[in-house]
């Protein structure tokens, strides 16, 4: 009971945590919008989900992918792009796996065989094929052709295709990014002719869903590269911290009926959590999914009994707080100098004094307009602050780090 083999809290984007909090609207977007429209042959944009580290972007799409796969969708593995990697190679490799699953490798159609051969070259050499002028279509065109073939096979199978590309901000080569986005965009906007039961013929969109996940600056970079085309083909969501109510809801099973775990004797038992333990977890993580999983994981390990107490939560947090601080500091360190300065001056002011004019004056500017570009990016691109007559923090863990004694437990004090 309460050991490493049954801990339901999980850190990292490679595994899905059993204790899931929030993101209901994004999950419903797949079940209620994307999947039904694609199955009906209606056009639907790809999804770009961005946010600061720790907000659960990759985990969210992995959960969507797991749900899709359970419903029979053809799903690629999570295509994670390391810094400097050739994105066409990575995506081509994943799409080739889909092609195998769709049975295209066994096709006797010459056109399909030629497309597969070309995409295998892309998987081996990537964008360098363009530089080498290897005979055949451009790499991104070949990739599009194979995606269309996979999508056509999905129509016949009455299913959908889901492609997840993670760490998309790591594509720093502008030409490579442009080619990748055009290839994916052309595939999700392609149509094929289909026969209807009444003998009519119509054009239908292919059932291909593309999810891109990464840091906030990606959407800004993609828009600058492809302009309105990117916005037309991909809908962008900037994730924010989840609400305290969503965390309480995720922890409700621990209160009643209890979280089911093996008892070590071949039967099942329940681990419960006291109400004040739940409130302690809520207070410590400030709506940050990474911190929620971190605090929950350490609270689980802080004891062995069937009840997780507030003392367990606080004891576990003692072991976790240095990692929690490092996580928030990484977010701060990512900010350009002026954006970080804006955040720090905003945090130093009393909530009622957090106006553009007051912050600008603290930064040494004569007019609020001088800080407008920093404030706008922190709001619309990064999702860290909310602009208005008075500014407020949307990223509550960052606010807690800058304005209180967090991660220490106790009465908040101004830093």
Distance CA 142, CA 122 (A): 8
What per-residue confidence (pLDDT) applies to 226? 57
Neighbouring CB atoms inside 10 A of 19's CB total 19
- pLDDT grade, residue 133 (50/70/90)? very low
Distance CA 347, CA 335 (A): 15
Q: What is the mean pLDDT of residues 287-295?
A: 95
Location of structure tokens 């295209």: 104
Taking a C-beta distance cutoff of 8 angstroms, is the pair 38, 22 a contact? no
What per-residue confidence (pLDDT) applies to 202? 80
Q: Which helix (H) or strand (E) holds 337?
A: helix 337-348
DSSP track, 95-106: HHHHHHHTTGGG
Cα separations (Å) of 26 from 31, 49, 53, 54, 272? 9, 9, 18, 17, 29
Q: At residue 398, does pLDDT exceed 90?
A: yes
What per-residue confidence (pLDDT) applies to 409? 81
* In the chain, % of residues over pLDDT 70: 92
Taking a C-beta distance cutoff of 8 angstroms, is the pair 146, 100 a contact? no
Q: At residue 300, does pLDDT exceed 90?
A: yes
Q: At residue 98, does pLDDT exceed 80?
A: yes
Q: pLDDT digit string (tens) for 108-117?
A: 777 788 888 8
Q: What is the mean pLDDT of residues 89-118?
A: 84
Which residues lie closer than 8 Å to 275 by C-beta, 6 or more apart? 255
Q: pLDDT digit string (tens) for 182-238?
A: 999 999 999 988 776 666 778 889 999 999 999 998 887 787 655 567 778 999 999
What per-residue confidence (pLDDT) applies to 130? 55
Q: Which helix (H) or strand (E) holds 157?
A: helix 139-157
Distance CA 170, CA 191 (A): 30
Q: At residue 69, does pLDDT exceed 80?
A: yes
Q: Which of 358, 347, 367 is nearest to 389 (CA)?
A: 358
What per-residue confidence (pLDDT) applies to 411? 43
Q: pLDDT digit string (tens) for 249-260?
A: 999 999 999 999
Q: pLDDT digit string (tens) for 15-31?
A: 788 999 999 999 999 99
Q: What is the mean pLDDT of residues 261-282?
A: 91
Q: At residue 96, does pLDDT exceed 70?
A: yes
Q: At residue 369, does pLDDT exceed 80?
A: yes
Return left, alpha or beta for 9; rule: phi > 0 is left, psi -120 to 50 is alpha, else beta.
Answer: beta
Return left, alpha or beta for 45; rule: phi > 0 is left, psi -120 to 50 is alpha, else beta.
Answer: beta
- Quote the mean pLDDT of the chain: 89
Q: At residue 134, does pLDDT exceed 60?
A: no
Taking a C-beta distance cutoff of 8 angstroms, is the pair 132, 126 a contact? no
Q: What is the pTM of this model?
A: 0.90
- pLDDT grade, residue 415 (50/70/90)? very low
């Amino acid at each position: 009971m309460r050991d490493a083999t049954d801990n339901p809290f999980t850190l990292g984007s490679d595994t899905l945590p059993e204790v899931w909090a929030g993101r209901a609207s994004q999950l419903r977007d797949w079940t209620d919008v994307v999947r039904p429209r694609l199955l009906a042959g209606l056009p639907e944009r790809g999804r770009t989900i961005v946010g600061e580290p720790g907000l659960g972007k990759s985990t969210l799409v992995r959960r969507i992918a797991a749900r899709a796969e359970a419903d029979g969708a053809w799903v690629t593995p999570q295509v994670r792009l390391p810094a400097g990697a050739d994105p066409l190679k990575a995506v081509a490799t994943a799409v080739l796996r889909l092609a195998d699953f769709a049975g295209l490798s066994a096709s006797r159609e010459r056109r399909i065989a030629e497309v597969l051969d070309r995409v295998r070259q892309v998987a081996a050499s990537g964008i360098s094929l363009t530089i080498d002028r290897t005979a055949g279509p451009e790499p991104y065109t070949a990739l599009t052709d194979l995606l269309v073939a996979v999508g056509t096979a999905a129509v016949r199978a009455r299913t959908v295709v889901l492609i997840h590309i993670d760490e998309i901000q790591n594509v720093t080569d502008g030409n490579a990014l442009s080619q990748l986005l055009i290839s994916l965009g052309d595939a999700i906007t392609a149509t094929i002719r289909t026969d209807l039961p009444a003998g009519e013929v119509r054009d239908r969109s292919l059932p291909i869903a593309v999810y891109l996940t990464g840091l906030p600056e990606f959407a800004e970079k993609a828009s600058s590269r492809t302009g309105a085309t990117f916005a037309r083909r991909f809908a962008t969501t900037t994730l924010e911290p989840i609400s305290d109510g969503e965390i309480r809801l995720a922890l409700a099973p621990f209160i009643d009926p209890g979280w089911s775990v093996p008892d070590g004797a071949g039967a099942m038992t329940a681990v419960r959590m006291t109400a004040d333990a739940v409130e302690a977890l809520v207070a410590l993580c400030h709506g940050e999914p990474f911190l929620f999983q971190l605090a929950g994981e350490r609270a689980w390990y802080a004891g062995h009994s069937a009840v997780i107490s507030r003392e367990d939560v606080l004891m576990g947090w003692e072991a976790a707080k240095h990692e929690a601080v490092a996580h928030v500091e990484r977010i701060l360190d990512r900010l350009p100098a002026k954006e970080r300065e804006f955040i720090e001056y905003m945090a130093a002011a009393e909530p009622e004094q957090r106006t553009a004019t007051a912050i600008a004056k603290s930064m040494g500017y004569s007019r609020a307009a001088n800080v407008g570009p920093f404030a706008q990016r922190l709001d619309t691109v990064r999702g860290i602050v909310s602009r208005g007559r008075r500014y407020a923090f949307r990223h509550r863990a960052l606010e807690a780090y800058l304005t209180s004694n967090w991660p220490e437990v106790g009465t908040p004090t101004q830093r």
